[in-house]
Amino acid sequence: MQEGAGRGAAELVADLRGSVERLLDEATAVPAEPRPTPVTALAGRRHPAWFTLHRAWRELETHHVDLRLGHTTADWPVDYVTWALDGTIAALTARGFPVAHIEATDLNRAWSPAPTGPAVTGPGHVLLAWPTGRDGHAGLQWDLPLPTPPAWPLPPAPGWS
């Protein structure tokens, strides 16, 4: 129980991040056949087993920011931001979120989730922070009023539930 008790927050977070990355690496080596098996998350949503690892990654990165120990959304890895933006925008699109255009200026990526609504641009990590309720929307640019995002986390867009 006392192992690691004297380590600082940065060291503990680095250890946890390394553990999650190793878990993700090892999980990709699992044969594909059992990975689509449906599982139920604590929130009651059902999804394929493979999504559990991505959900854990999302929670690690998001709650690392929530700890307010100096880690901000700007510290999110680009691979995470790219994956999470794709999933978040797909989930918002499936729910009719009224944003006509989203552009991640640093990732050279753009989405058109709805036929009407504002056009929103900014760095990928800020675009992702906005619908997850982290760091507001400072650093974004928009041409019409921004709609209020739905409660986070959103169920996955494919509607596995």
Structure tokens at 80: 């995470």
Q: How many residues does the chain have?
A: 161
Does this model's pTM top 0.85? My answer is: no
pLDDT of amino acid 46: 83
Question: Which pLDDT score is estimated for 159?
Answer: 67
Whether the pLDDT of residue 160 is over 50: the answer is yes
- Identify which of 56, 31, 29, 26 has the alpha carbon closest to the alpha carbon of residue 41: 56
> 111 vs 11, which has greater pLDDT?
111
The answer, yes or no, to whether residue 1 has pLDDT greater than 60, is no
One-letter amino acid at 86 equals D
Q: Give the gyration radius of the chain's Cα atoms.
A: 17
The pLDDT of residue 8 = 83
Beta bridge partners of 102: 111, 120
List pLDDT tens digits, range 26-64.
766 666 665 678 888 887 888 888 888 888 888 889 888
Q: What is the pLDDT of residue 132?
A: 86
- Between 154 and 101, the more confident residue is 101
Q: What is the pLDDT of residues 65-107, one digit of tens each?
A: 888 888 899 999 999 999 999 999 999 999 899 999 999 999 9
* Tokens 């509607």 -> residue: 159
